[in-house]
Amino acid sequence: MKILITGGAGYIGSILTPTLLAQGHEVTVLDNFYFRQNSLADCCPYDTFQVVRGDCRNEALVKPLVARADVIIPLAALVGVPLCNADPIATQTTNQDAVEMICRLASPQQRILMPVTNSGYGIGEQGKHCTEDSPLRPISTYGVTKVKAEEAVLARENSISFRLATVFGMSPRMRTDLLVNDFVYRAVNDRAVVIFEGHFKRNYIHIRDVVRVFLHGLQNFEAMRGRPYNVGLDDANLSKLELCAVIQKHLPKFVFLEAPIGEDPDKRDYIVSNARVAAAGFTPEWPLDRGIRELIKGYTILRNSIYGNV
């Protein structure tokens, strides 16, 4: 297939792009390389790889790229509460408007596979799992724009949306700010973390299982199209304190404390059912413990010392 990925040099795209190329697909990546990353350098030997440096909001640039694609995967987004709050206009135009533009430009026959966030559930009901039929009550600007983008994608029917749990794991375009990645980084380097609102629960999924669910969606598109799917680990609906206890099993010197005051800027608190994607034949391969072991090795290599003298 001919696949267009916007934001294909980002955290997820840096693993998804070479995986699709290795499977024989033709992949075009549109990315502005905002973080000055070189994460797709290993894709350049593929004759089936094309890269375009540009803005996913530029219709004149995007239109011919969409026209040549069989499948469009819009990964380009401003992700995370602090980044989105810092520039709400860019968040709106990138996370929502650019996706709505792709939906307008794409023909009914073209397929769209869209990642969104299960933070759209906001604060869930105590002890009750959020399913794809649960009401969406996003709290953050990030959550609101992704929910709106999903509405546009699913309205065209020839699409799938994946409501991703909090993603973790190593990537060539690494994000140390994601919750599991952040806590493991602190456990490795600081041996301590202070937690705000440690009882808040959420679900987790490894980045390589995210890539695998996109492949599964491509291979089973006709059976899965037109619906959203929660994608997470059934045994990892964990509070922050429970997550830290799991990390501590791998790094016994790790100490975690809950602050008596202070708030988490990302207020999500819910547990999630992943039964629908399981019924569609998808099973994750990366449990939390395996991902933590991977991160410990990764942080032995990666040291975020760009702003330090030591």
262 has pLDDT over 90: no
State pLDDT tens for residues 35-87: 899 999 999 999 999 999 999 999 999 999 999 999 999 999 999 888 899 99
230-247 per-position pLDDT tens digit: 999 999 999 999 999 999
In a domain, 300, yes or no: no
Q: What is the pLDDT of residue 265?
A: 65
82-124: pLDDT as tens digits: 889 999 999 999 999 999 999 999 999 999 999 999 989 988 8
H or E segment to which residue 151 belongs: helix 141-155
- Total domain count, the chain: 1
pLDDT digits (tens, 9 = 90+) for 282-295: 999 999 999 999 99
Residues 160, 114 contacting (CB under 8 angstroms): yes
Checking if the pLDDT of 309 tops 60, the result is: no
Q: Is 287 exposed, middle or buried (0-12, 13-18, 19+ CB in 10 A)?
A: middle
- 55 belongs to a structural domain: yes
Residue 249 in domain:
no
Mean per-residue pLDDT, 141-158: 95
For the packed helices 179-189 and 240-250, what is the interaxial angle rounded to 10 degrees?
40
Helix and strand tally (H, E) in the chain?
12, 14
Any domain includes 24: yes
The verdict on residue 199 lying in a domain is no
Which pLDDT does position 88 carry in this prediction? Answer: 94
pLDDT at 119: 86
**Highest mean pLDDT out of 30-39, 256-265, 283-292, 299-308:** 283-292
Mean pLDDT across 251-259: 96
Cα atoms in the Cβ-side hemisphere of radius 13 Å centred on 53:
7
For residue 112, give the nearest of 64, 70, 166 by alpha carbon.
70
Residue 134 to residue 270: CA distance in whole angstroms: 11
Domain with 60 in it = 2-168+204-234+274-284
114: domain CATH number is 3.40.50.720
Question: Is 31 part of a structural domain of the chain?
Answer: yes
Residue 294 lies in a domain: no
Share of residues in the chain with pLDDT > 90 (%): 86
157-176 confidence digits (pLDDT tens): 899 999 999 999 999 999 99
Tokens of 274: 């992943």
